[in-house]
Amino acid sequence: MTDFDGAQLSRLASRLTSPQSFVGVLGNLRRDAVELLGGNPASEALPAEALNASVHELLADPARATAALRYSGPRGLDEFVAWLAAREGIDPARIVVTNGGLHALSLVTQALLDAGDSVVTDDPIFPIALRVLQLTGAHAVPVPVGRDGLDVEALERLLAEGVRPRAVYTVADFQNPTGAVLGARARTRLVELAERFGFVVLSDNPYRTSRFAGEDVPDFPTDSDRVVRINTFAKSLGPGLRLGWLALPSWLVQPVLNIRARTDQHPSTFTQAAILGVVRPAGAFDRILADLSALHHSRATTLATSLRTHLAGHIEAERPDGGFFIWARLLDPALSLEPLHHAALAHGTNFSRGTSFAVPGGHDHDRHLRLGFSDIPDTDLEEAVTRLAAAVSTAGGGA
């Protein structure tokens, strides 16, 4: 073995640093820590039994087993694509099955963005999506996300000043990390702007199906040739599957497939065939979503109630109507994020610091905490909040 020689790396690899973790561990976490991190759906409601039966049936039939273990087409299995297209209400020719949502984003950004292009993004943003966008060499232009999602009026002001983005990346439903939902009028306006200024709306919407209260907001239209929908089963069937899909305007399908033809060729035939057996029986997917929602609803309510009970005056937290996170704010002027994070780790809990979701040139989010609840039982959530309250005292929170 020769020594590692950085000079052998590509220019791209040599300029990349190891990404910081969302939580940026600052100390030793206690072995009995109850972490409010999240990202995984409630594991109790994932369809492990149905998947077991589906895989068993698939492999017990020699012809189906052989087909599931062979190479297949670049857009995905026909039957699976047809099922997705029916749910999306679009022509199956516009669907491309991917290895999860981030892979979908990566394919589409490689097809759209060049180094030096501007891409408008949510501020705060899901940091892995930011990394995917930045890998193209594009320049992220932050636009604030408020209670009602991306501030489309702020975007209009940027456009009026002459900013010309190639794309606008936003998470319209239960945005990660804020939980905000973009209103119907703002969605319509964003698409009008996209059509007028020629940018593409990259709608990354993994939490749309995770609503547990309130009314659905009508989504972006399916017929605009300026809207790309990025989807995943990560928040409904489990992120470990690495299964997602793109719903593309027709003009973008072949360019995306041209990128794919030079990378992974096609998504896993086996995973698609197995998942089809889980989701295709009438109503099966909606039942899984309903079971998940019931658990997420209870957990979000427990976390929000517990925060109000133990931390009123110190931390402000509202229960969202869906998604996996509470975006809480430090109210108490005696508190600041870093000392609180140190104290939280020492007291056996953890959270994602708001600063992890910042976009260069945007806001710091150093008064915010992202608290995950989706895969944490109610009693553990209560215990975590008790520990967070102890951390608030240690970190100097006024009595």
Q: Which residues bind ligand PLP (CB under 6 A)?
A: 39, 100-102, 126, 129, 171, 176, 204, 206, 232, 234, 239, 244
Compute the least distance from the CB of residue 8 to ligand PLP, in Å.
30
Compute the least distance from the CB of residue 5 to ligand PLP, in Å.
32
369-388: string of b/e by CB count within 10 Å (b at 16+)? bbbbbbbbbbebbbbbbbbb
Q: Give the bridge partners for 141, in sequence order.
A: 120
Nearer to ligand PLP (CB atom), residue 170 or residue 306: 170
Nearer to ligand PLP (CB atom), residue 129 or residue 252: 129
Compute the least distance from the CB of residue 353 to ligand PLP, in Å.
16
Q: Give the bridge partners for 120, in sequence order.
A: 141, 168
Nearer to ligand PLP (CB atom), residue 100 or residue 165: 100
Q: Give the bridge partners for 327, in sequence order.
A: 370
Compute the least distance from the CB of residue 228 to ligand PLP, in Å.
13
Nearer to ligand PLP (CB atom), residue 199 or residue 324: 324
Kindly give the residue spans of alpha helices, DSSP state H, lying in the chain.
11-15, 48-60, 62-68, 78-88, 101-112, 127-135, 152-160, 184-197, 250-260, 269-279, 284-311, 337-346, 378-394
Nearer to ligand PLP (CB atom), residue 68 or residue 234: 234
Is residue 387 within 8 A of residue 348, CB to CB? The reply is yes
Compute the least distance from the CB of residue 280 to ligand PLP, in Å.
20
Contacts 24+ apart (CB under 8 A), 133-139: 133/105, 133/109, 133/169, 135/12, 135/106, 135/109, 136/109, 136/110, 137/113, 138/109, 138/113, 138/114, 138/166
Is residue 366 within 8 A of residue 301, CB to CB? The reply is no
Burial of 42 (0-12, 13-18, 19+ CB in 10 A): buried
Nearer to ligand PLP (CB atom), residue 236 or residue 355: 236
Compute the least distance from the CB of residue 6 to ligand PLP, in Å.
29
Compute the least distance from the CB of residue 245 to ligand PLP, in Å.
10
Q: Which DSSP category does 147 fall into?
A: T
Nearer to ligand PLP (CB atom), residue 211 or residue 347: 211
Q: How far apart are CA 297 and CA 234, in angstroms?
A: 18
Compute the least distance from the CB of residue 145 to ligand PLP, in Å.
12
Nearer to ligand PLP (CB atom), residue 239 or residue 397: 239
Q: Which two tokens stand for residue 92?
A: 């199956």
Q: Which two tokens stand for residue 61?
A: 């039939």
